[in-house]
Chains A and B, each alone.
Chain A
Amino acid sequence: MKSQFIFKKDLNDFLGTLSVDNDIYYLADNDAYKKYSANGPSIDISIDNVRANLPLRSFFFNHNEKLDTASLNLEKKTIIFGVKACDLNALKIIKEVYLGGVCTDPFVENKLANTLIFASDCPTPKDTCFCTFIGGNPFAQAYENKSFDLNFSPVDDGYVVDVISVVAEEIIAQAQAFFRDAVDTELSKREEMRDSAVKTLDRINVNYKSIKDIDFKGLAGRKYLSESWKEYCKTCVQCTGCNNICPSCYCFYLTEANAKYRYWDACHYTTHGKVAGGGNARPKIHERFRNRYQCKLNYRKTNFGIYACTGCGRCISVCPGKIDIRDVVKKLSAES
């Protein structure tokens, strides 16, 4: 289907029609996903900020989730509106882990199957963003077409809308009143907006020019035994914030109560690698700190051919120790 165009003023009504059959969450001004209510006052929906603080994966596997197949498939469909390209890239890792391998996780599979993703561009990346430095872009692209259904790019007083999936085509067909074909000037304005976002990212990250799109996997592997990890993690207080906020982190542990429950886990916890008898695969802080970098830049790239860091910058914003993954990588790469 041709790219479409919708006016901003029509977004609210468009979501209103969809909310009959779907639970809708949209990216709100405060960088949170807010639940849309058709009964409330008409709202000014702007999905142009950078990624939500909450990582997208929270929609697909929860902390403290009961693993009971009887609860599958009863949910209403969910629409997430305003998902950014960095989170879509991270979703690839989540899918590799949960849908691939020795078996499919039915709980994640079910939620993915019941969720529609409406992506949106990032016209104004912020100071922690660096997606273009690690193979990404500030907009979702159609080659990732298995990851999202629609994409919204702000142009003039509306959005150019790419229609990716079959379900999305049906939605647009039914909501035709709100859409028309996008015209060439709108499409070229979108390209300008995207170029400008890419340039903004270059400006934001001017200090990290030396690590733009380098071989992060090779670097992480070569520097595994570097003594400097100890220095880089000096201000790390093991809060696990960087793990919990990351869109590609997938660790969990199972507990036994009256049923099986799944909790999010984090590799910064001492218990993550602990075995009976006092053994631990990563007893020291710098070993756990290094493990996160190896996981994001080395191990998952080895497994899946893609980095598990997508440059969303959340771990930079969240860290009480002011540790910036870009600085660590830059320092590592400057080591002899």
Chain B
Amino acid sequence: MSQVNPYLPIEATVEKVIDETASIKTFVFRPKQPIAFQTGQFMLVTIAGIGESAFTPSSSPSVKDTMEFTIMKVGVNTEKIHALKPGDTVGLRGPYGKGYPVEKYFNHEVLIVGGGVGLAPLRSLLLTLIEQIEKFKKITLCYGSKTPDDVVYKYLFPKWKEIKGLEIVRSVDKCPENVKWDETVGLVTCLLDKVNADRDNAAVIVCGPPIMMKFATLKIYQQGYNPENTYLSMERNMSCGLGKCGHCGVGPHYCCKDGPVFTYEQLKDEPEIWD
């Protein structure tokens, strides 16, 4: 038996680091061998001797040689990751889980609802959709951040706003007086009242912090969107990424192997999925 060790990562070099906000950076990694993935699938990033954390690439799968990750500094690993400089190395293993079934969205409207760093996986999806935008009736992005400073990919929005077939509405929870913001002030859920989507047929994709996921999903459900077309990125503690270590349970499902993208239909009858 000469077996592959599924727990061992592939080495990758840090090629570029982009500051997004005070606590979020985007990293461009170049793995030794290209790693093919589907948008929405995630990777485990290893910092040698420290630990591993799950992140969803924020780049499009059509970019083969490099992979980007947009990462918020929140604890031990992410602090080490934030200290990385071009030329440093990390480990990558994956891709894991089930991503977004993009083909299912063909000929439909797509409504994307994101909050905070939750825009990272959604950017990968958005880039994938933009590459073939003629295949969708309409794409709408609702994006909420805490303040205008907390908006990630600030430099991409001007370009995105010019794309035909893509509508973008944004909100901030609050806006300090000396900061310019001429879009909505309020929670991301209030943007859902502003968009005009085909509730029976639109694919709705939600990703963000747990509290936002909860209220956005419930609102989407109340507004009559179809739970079978509502896709949620669930976040759970993860270790193996392979459905073995038992950490990432959502009811009988494992987030790493059955998710991280679930339809609301799959989860809506499981008690206490948000808490």
Contacts and interface: CB of A to CB of B under 8 A. Distances in A.
A177 interface: no
Interface stretch (A25-33, A164-172, A273-281): A273-281
Given A256-B52, A277-B74, A105 B6 contact: yes
Interface string B204-228: 0000011000000000000000000
B246 A256 contact: no
Contact of A101 (B74, B235, B244): B244
B178 interface: no
A251 B245 contact: yes
Contact of B3 (A72, A101, A256, A303): A72
Contacts of B5: 67-69, 106, 260
Given A106-B5, A275-B235, A299-B252, A256 B247 contact: no
Interface string A105-116: 110011001000
Contact of A67 (B7, B242, B246, B247): B7
Interface stretch (B43-51, B58-66, B134-142): B43-51
Most buried by B among A250, A251, A295: A251
Interface string B67-102: 000000011001000000000000000001000000
A258 B8 CA distance: 12
Interface string B174-212: 000000000000000000000000000000000001100
Contact of A69 (B4, B51, B96): B4
For the complex, would chain A's binding face be called helix, strand, loop or mixed by DSSP majority? mixed
A47 B252 CA distance: 37
Contacts of A291: 249
Nearest to B47: A256
A291 B6 CA distance: 28
B34 interface: no
B210 A253 contact: no
Contacts of B52: 254, 256
Contacts of A254: 7, 52, 239-240, 245
B136 to A, nearest CB: 30
B245 A256 contact: no
Contacts, number: 113
B244 A113 contact: no
A274 B240 CA distance: 15
Contacts of A281: 236-237, 249, 275
A260 B7 contact: yes
B158 interface: no
B165 interface: no
A265 B246 contact: yes
B257 interface: yes
Contacts of A20: none
A303 B258 CA distance: 11
B4 A106 contact: yes
A112 to B, nearest CB: 11
B22 interface: no
Contact of B245 (A113, A224, A253, A257): A253
Contacts of B210: 279
A68 B48 CA distance: 15
A291 B236 CA distance: 15
Interface in A97-135: 97-98, 101-106, 109-110, 113
Size category of the B interface is 35 or more
B35 to A, nearest CB: 16
Interface string A296-333: 00111011000000000000000000000000000000
A87 to B, nearest CB: 19
A225 B271 contact: yes
B7 A276 contact: no
A73 B3 CA distance: 10
A178 interface: no
B1 A73 contact: yes
Given A253-B247, A254-B239, A260 B8 contact: yes
Contacts of B50: 256
A224 B270 CA distance: 10
B249 A103 contact: no
A267 B236 CA distance: 14
Interface in B142-161: none
A208 interface: no
Most buried by B among A67, A271, A279, A287: A279
A101 B1 contact: no
Given A98-B244, A224-B271, A256-B52, A103 B6 contact: yes
A323 B46 CA distance: 40
Interface of B: 1-8, 46-52, 74-75, 78, 96, 209-210, 235-237, 239-240, 242-247, 249, 251-252, 257, 271-272, 275
12 contacts: A69-B2, A69-B4, A101-B244, A102-B257, A110-B3, A250-B244, A252-B239, A254-B52, A256-B49, A276-B78, A283-B275, A295-B249
Pairs of residues from A and B, 7 with the lowest C-beta to C-beta distance, nearest first: A251-B246, A106-B3, A276-B74, A299-B252, A302-B252, A276-B75, A253-B239
Given A110-B1, A256-B49, A272-B237, 16 more contacts: A69-B5, A102-B257, A105-B242, A224-B271, A224-B272, A252-B244, A253-B245, A258-B49, A260-B7, A260-B8, A262-B7, A265-B239, A275-B235, A276-B78, A277-B75, A299-B249
